[in-house]
Amino acid sequence: MMTPQSEEELAGMIADATTPLAVQGGGTRGFVAAGDVLCSAGLAGIRLYEPGALTLVAGAGTPVSEIEAALAAENQRLAFEPMDHRALLGTSGAPTIGGVMAANISGPRRIAVGAARDFALGVRFVDGAGRIVKNGGRVMKNVTGYDLVKLMCGSFGTLGVLSEISMKVLPAPETEATLVIGTGVAEQAVAALSRGLGSPFEVTGAAFLPDRGAVVRIEGFETSVAYRLAALEGILDSFGAVERLDAQASQALWRDVRDVQTFVGRSGDVWRVSVKPSDAPGIVDALPDGTEYMLDWGGGLIWVLCAAGTDLRARIAPFAGHATLVRADADVRARLGVFQPEAPALAALTEGVRTRFDPRGVLTGRGMKAA
């Protein structure tokens, strides 16, 4: 394993590479590529934190826990609520902020505040040719030219290896509460979640747990939360009996939703399906018998636990969306592929971008052989 301790050392390793490199941060998300492991964990540390400016700059290898601790001391947080994959995937190590941004990891609050990429202000990275690239800055502003910050978020290290990220942070709320609407039917749950999200009461979480019901979160000042909770209850009680959860119970519930705790330690493949919320009930009906699921993002995200080897994409092919194979053995991953196949035109565009950033195929393995 190669673990550079500086950006210059990282650039040298990539420039000198003659075989494919498998980029990883903390190694907690289960994505294993062929090649020599290049770990960014050595590029760690909070470089700048200005609570008054809601800005933080950190090395890509900085553990998320270290950043969250620093923010908590100032009553701030990473508002996009990044998932911790370790329990679901059975991995160890420490999730890094570079891994979060490279995979655009975003939790339940994404539906209200945006994804990880929406909080990235600037990046430094090394591309496949070993060139150090800087884009963006430390403030949110309109700029001309290519937005490489957004391009890098969700690229999974195929365009470059992140070395530093500047990001926006937000104040933590005074309190939170959750309503649980007693329904076990996906169509009714999505309707309830849509009603809540369409209300003026600033919902920051909208999920459906079939064994518990539809759940809706509100955050903010205590008096505001109390008012909005009562008002929201009044427009949702027609969908089923409503139960209130206080701040402590609400935090525990949404931590479980974020980390898909209901599938932890259970056999089978895990899929992550992004769809139109209105399509979620139809997709649920198309799932194979014995399959379990949960909905997040108001129905726009479906987590599925199904029998090992199931080709879920074939089962839900009539619906638009993207199905990512999050957990499966190596043979199933090789047969089905981890990511949704791209349409030919989009695949050609993607390949063109990758060729620009990684002309030798060091980061993607194109045209190179593993040692």
Say yes or no to pLDDT of 185 above 70: yes
128 and 192 housed in the same domain: no
pLDDT at residue 371, as a whole number: 40
Q: 134-139: long-range contacts at Cβ-Cβ below 8 A with a sequence spacing of 24 or more?
A: 136/166, 137/166, 138/48, 138/53, 138/55, 138/57, 138/166, 139/53, 139/55
Total tally of structural domains belonging to the chain: 3
pLDDT at residue 369, as a whole number: 44
pLDDT tens profile 121-157: 999 999 999 999 999 877 655 656 678 999 999 999 9
Q: Pick the last residue of a domain from 130, 147, 171.
A: 171
* Mean pLDDT value of segment 350-364: 92
The helix (run of H) or strand (run of E) holding residue 242 is strand 242-245
Q: Pick the last residue of a domain from 121, 156, 171.
A: 171
* Mean pLDDT value of segment 224-243: 96
Is residue 371 situated within a structural domain? no
68 and 159 housed in the same domain: yes
Confidence of residue 8 (pLDDT cuts 50, 70, 90): very high
Query: Chain centroid to CA 96: how far?
Result: 13
Q: In this structure, are strands 269-274 and 322-327 parallel, antiparallel, or unpaired?
A: antiparallel
Residues 339 and 333: their CA atoms lie apart, in Å, by 9
Is residue 130 situated within a structural domain? yes
CATH of the domain at 228: 3.30.70.920
Residue 179 identity (one-letter amino acid)? L
Confidence of residue 1 (pLDDT cuts 50, 70, 90): confident
Range of the domain at 158: 7-171
Is residue 351 situated within a structural domain? no
113 and 232 housed in the same domain: no
140 and 64 housed in the same domain: yes
CATH of the domain at 40: 3.30.465.10
Residue 36 CB neighbour total at 10 angstroms: 16
82 and 13 housed in the same domain: yes
pLDDT tens profile 294-348: 999 999 999 999 999 999 999 999 999 999 999 999 999 999 999 999 999 999 9
Q: What is the mean pLDDT of the chain?
A: 93
Is residue 368 situated within a structural domain? no
Confidence of residue 34 (pLDDT cuts 50, 70, 90): confident
3-class state of residue 124 by DSSP: strand
pLDDT at residue 140, as a whole number: 59
187 and 99 housed in the same domain: no
User: Which position has the token pair 């726009």?
Assistant: 300
Q: Pick the last residue of a domain from 258, 278, 297.
A: 258
Least confident span in 25-29, 173-177, 199-203? 25-29
97 and 202 housed in the same domain: no
54 and 156 housed in the same domain: yes
User: Which position has the token pair 């919902």?
Assistant: 203
pLDDT at residue 71, as a whole number: 98
282 and 253 housed in the same domain: no
Say yes or no to pLDDT of 368 above 50: no
Kindly report the pTM of this predicted structure: 0.93
Q: How many CA atoms lie within 13 A of 340 on its CB side?
A: 19
